């Protein structure tokens, strides 16, 4: 029972954090705020995740062509990632979920590019209704998440 209450509380916390995330407005023109940078990182990661989950659902339903938009969205997120990961900004994390451990810029650009190119391949394969290509691109996409997370993502 105690365990269940803790689980529910944890789930509520995650949901309310994600809810607050989706309610955020556009970025300020200046990128000096560490808080803005970290919130944008979270926004991108959650956007990537819902698109990957959505692509998997469409695949199950054999709606291959509809996966195009998911590929394009993930590719866009990957494209804009590197400048947001120049600093660690550890103080801007609230002690929950995941944080950025820091990375050499060129290495981080490399793992972001792996995500971007897998997502572009996903978009192009979906556009051609190429099911085998979609399977391959989804595999590459999953691998790119792991490659970056294993190296640069820490958990509180
Ligand atoms: C180029 C690096 C990189 C790639 C590629 C990447 N991530 Fe992440 N991700 C991170 C880092 C760094 C963090 C932790 C920092 C943060 O959340 O600000 C993170 C955090 C997350 C989180 C947790 C966010 C939170 O609120 O704590 C989710 C979910 C996530 N990633 C999903 C994905 C998925 C799914 C993929 C692949 C389709 C992916 N990421 C690919 C770097 C990456």
State how far the Cα of 68 lies from the Cα of 76, in Å rounded to an integer: 12
Q: Nearest residue CA, atom 2 of ligand 1? A: 148
- In ligand 1, the atom with minimum distance to the C-alpha of 98 is 27
State how far the Cα of 147 lies from the Cα of 6, in Å rounded to an integer: 31
> Does residue 13 register a pLDDT over 80?
no
For residue 1, report the distance from its CA to the centre of ligand 1, in Å.
32
> Does residue 70 register a pLDDT over 90?
yes
Q: Is the CB of 55 under 6 A from ligand 1?
A: no
Confidence band for 9, pLDDT divided at 50, 70 and 90: low
Dihedral angle sign, alpha carbons of residues 125, 63, 54, 59? negative
Q: Which two tokens stand for residue 115?
A: 């995500």
Per-residue model confidence (pLDDT) at position 18: 74
Q: Is the CB of 93 under 6 A from ligand 1?
A: no
State how far the Cα of 156 lies from the Cα of 154, in Å rounded to an integer: 7
Give pLDDT tens digits for 86-103. 999 999 998 988 999 999
For residue 98, report the distance from its CA to the centre of ligand 1, in Å.
8
> Beta-carbon neighbour count of residue 84 at 10 Å?
19
Confirm if 79 and 35 have CB atoms less than 8 A apart.
no
> Beta-carbon neighbour count of residue 142 at 10 Å?
13
Range 42-58 average pLDDT: 98
State how far the Cα of 103 lies from the Cα of 86, in Å rounded to an integer: 8
For residue 29, report the distance from its CA to the centre of ligand 1, in Å.
24
Confirm if 8 and 88 have CB atoms less than 8 A apart.
no
State how far the Cα of 108 lies from the Cα of 90, in Å rounded to an integer: 17
Q: Which two tokens stand for residue 76?
A: 């866009």
């Amino acid at each position: 029972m105690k365990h269940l209450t803790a689980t529910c509380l944890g789930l509520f916390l995650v949901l309310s954090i994600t809810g607050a995330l989706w309610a955020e407005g556009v970025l300020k023109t200046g990128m000096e705020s560490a808080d803005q940078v970290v919130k944008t990182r979270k926004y991108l990661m959650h956007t990537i995740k819902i698109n990957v989950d959505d692509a998997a659902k469409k695949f199950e339903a054999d709606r291959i062509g509809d996966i195009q938009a998911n590929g394009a969205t993930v590719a866009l997120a990957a494209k804009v990632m590197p400048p947001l990961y120049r600093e660690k900004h550890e103080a801007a994390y609230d002690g929950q979920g995941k944080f950025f451990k820091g990375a050499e810029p060129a290495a981080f650009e490399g793992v972001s590019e792996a995500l971007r190119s897998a997502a572009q391949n996903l978009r192009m394969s979906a556009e051609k209704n190429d099911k085998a290509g979609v399977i391959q691109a989804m595999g590459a996409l999953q691998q790119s998440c792991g490659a970056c997370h294993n190296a640069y993502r820490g958990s509180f």
